[in-house]
Amino acid sequence: MTKDHRVTNPRRHAYRTLSNKVKAVKTPGGSLKAHYHRKKPASVKCGDCGTALPGLKALRPIAMKRASKCRRTVKRAYGGSRCAHCVRQRVLRAFLIEEQKIVKKMLAEKMRASKEA
């Protein structure tokens, strides 16, 4: 007589999709039961460079929604969205653009003064 390889599915969904991964586990009674796997969460990535953000747990979307704010973010500008390197670049870029505007304004005033004289 051959061994029985049939697995008892506790859920109705039988197809082997990404959200329905199953491992057959033998019970002490000798029958095969299905143990369902949870999807592995992806770590939070930086929106600019795409590197994984340190200090944040990798959670599935529902768990991330339920997590408290201190678990979802880092206490910094753009915390939980951008890495420290990208934030530094943004701050520096904004500062240089503002400096450039001031220089432009001063040159325009100087040109206006030279035309009047």
26 with 80, same domain: the answer is no
Q: Please tell me the predicted confidence (pLDDT) of residue 117.
A: 74
Provide the domain limits for residue 52: 41-116
30 with 62, same domain: the answer is no
H-only helix segments in the chain: 61-66, 69-72, 84-116
Q: Please tell me the predicted confidence (pLDDT) of residue 101.
A: 97
Q: Please tell me the predicted confidence (pLDDT) of residue 85.
A: 96
- Please count the structural domains in the chain: 2
51 with 108, same domain: the answer is yes
52 with 109, same domain: the answer is yes
H/E element holding 25?
strand 22-26
- In the chain, the amino acid numbered 94 is A
Q: Please tell me the predicted confidence (pLDDT) of residue 108.
A: 96
Q: Please tell me the predicted confidence (pLDDT) of residue 4.
A: 80
Q: Please tell me the predicted confidence (pLDDT) of residue 13.
A: 85
28 with 63, same domain: the answer is no
35 with 55, same domain: the answer is no
pTM as predicted: 0.70
- Stretches where the chain sits below pLDDT 70 are 1
Q: Please tell me the predicted confidence (pLDDT) of residue 1.
A: 67
Q: Please tell me the predicted confidence (pLDDT) of residue 12.
A: 82
- The burial of 97, by beta-carbon neighbours within 10 Å (0-12 exposed, 13-18 middle, 19 or more buried), is given as exposed
